[in-house]
């Protein structure tokens, strides 16, 4: 993992590692990419904005609970 992390432009592998460490549950790069693709969250440079990713997950969770 890079020394400095830019939450506006995370590589899917870095985001997967951060989520795994934060949640004590394995999150794979493939899972992150699948979610990012579903939300059209991958930038042209193949990075993901953490805030947009989180908002997309929250919105999806809200719809699932309706």
Rg of the chain's alpha carbons, rounded to an integer?
12
Cα gap 3→16, rounded to integer Å: 16
- What is the structure's pLDDT at 21? 95
Residue ranges of domains in the chain: 12-64
Residue-wise pLDDT for 19-64, tens only, equals 999 998 999 999 999 999 999 999 999 999 999 999 999 999 887 7
Separation of alpha carbons 42 and 66, rounded Å: 27
pTM: predicted TM-score of the whole model, two decimal places? 0.87
Quick check: 3 pLDDT over 80? no
Q: Grade residue 1 by pLDDT with cuts at 50, 70 and 90.
A: low
3-state helix, strand, coil in the chain (%, to 5): 55, 5, 40
């Amino acid at each position: 993992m890079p020394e400095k992390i830019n939450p506006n432009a995370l590589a899917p592998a870095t985001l997967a590692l951060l989520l795994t460490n934060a949640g004590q549950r394995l999150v794979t790069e493939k899972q992150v990419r699948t979610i990012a693709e579903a939300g059209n969250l991958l930038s042209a440079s193949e990075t993901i904005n953490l805030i947009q990713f989180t908002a997309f997950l929250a919105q999806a969770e809200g719809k699932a609970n309706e």
